[in-house]
Amino acid sequence: KMAEKQEEPSNAQNGEPDNAEEGEEKKKKKLKREDLPPFEIVTGERLPAIFFKFQFRNVEYSSGRNKTFLCYVIETQGKESVTSRGYLEDEHAAAHAEMAFFNTILPTCESSLRYNITWYVSSSPCVTCADRITETLKKNKNLRLTIMVGRLFMWEEPEMQAALKKMKSAGCKLRIMKPQDFEYVWQNFVEQEEGEEAKAFVPWEDIQENFQYYEEKLAEIL
């Protein structure tokens, strides 16, 4: 116990947002791990600013950023166009947010309607998720998917590159988030302090360079 107490402040100083979850984690650990759903779907709510600032940051080396946050906008084109939005975060490694979207949100979409779906994701999908995206798009011709990513995940790996190419050939648009896209997520998906004017999005120092870096890499791959 004592050792734990001493460690906590030092973690907090690192500004790692994971600490905010420590209390929660302790509560959750009392539940059996198996009882927990593998991911959490959060709709209508917004993600905490601290998560956004950490997870979405388009850094080159994404150490410690092992959660995926997926913000989505679904435009349904039927008699009336309807737009819905929400976000998913994966709680444990059991299911990635991309899979969670297909398993839980997508089944509620009717096959007779057309859907334009845009994801804003902290990093590009892993090989397994990329393959699932490719399969889903091949099966659902009425689905248009655009994925805006903050960072490219393991893009040097040949199998990752191949998986991204397959996604593209299945009609998926993959884009690197520009500073304006981060601002869009900030305005639409991130909690604003209550009672205050919505805080303006403050771009981080290297946001533009990192965007250009990843955009070049993606162009080379695709």
Domain count, the chain: 1
Q: Is the predicted pLDDT of residue 113 greater than 90, yes or no? A: no
> Does 48 reside within a domain?
yes
Helix (H) or strand (E) holding 157: none
Is residue 158 classed exposed, middle or buried when 0-12, 13-18 and 19+ CB atoms within 10 A define those classes? exposed
| Active site residue ranges | 98
Question: Phi-psi bin for 64: left (phi > 0), alpha (psi -120 to 50), beta?
Answer: left
> Does 62 reside within a domain?
yes
> Does 11 reside within a domain?
no
pTM recorded for the entire structure: 0.75
Judge contact between 115 and 88, C-beta under 8 A. Answer: no
Domain assignment of residue 138, given as a range: 42-191+204-221
For the chain, percent of residues with pLDDT exceeding 90:
36
Q: pLDDT per residue over 74-111, tens digit each?
A: 998 877 788 888 888 765 455 788 888 888 888 877 87
Q: pLDDT per residue over 167-215, tens digit each?
A: 999 999 999 999 999 999 988 888 876 655 667 888 888 999 999 999 9
**Which position has the token pair 């299911």?**
95
Of the ranges 12-26, 27-41, 149-163, 186-200, the best mean pLDDT one: 149-163
pLDDT of 43 reads: 54
Q: Residue range 107-133: average pLDDT?
A: 89
pLDDT of 66 reads: 58
pLDDT of 23 reads: 47
Judge contact between 181 and 56, C-beta under 8 A. Answer: no
> Does 145 reside within a domain?
yes
> Does 75 reside within a domain?
yes
> Does 4 reside within a domain?
no
CATH value at residue 178:
3.40.140.10
> Does 109 reside within a domain?
yes
pLDDT of 7 reads: 37
What ranges make up the beta strands (E) of the chain?
Answer: 39-43, 69-77, 81-90, 114-123, 143-151, 173-176
> Does 16 reside within a domain?
no
Higher pLDDT, 99 or 42: 99
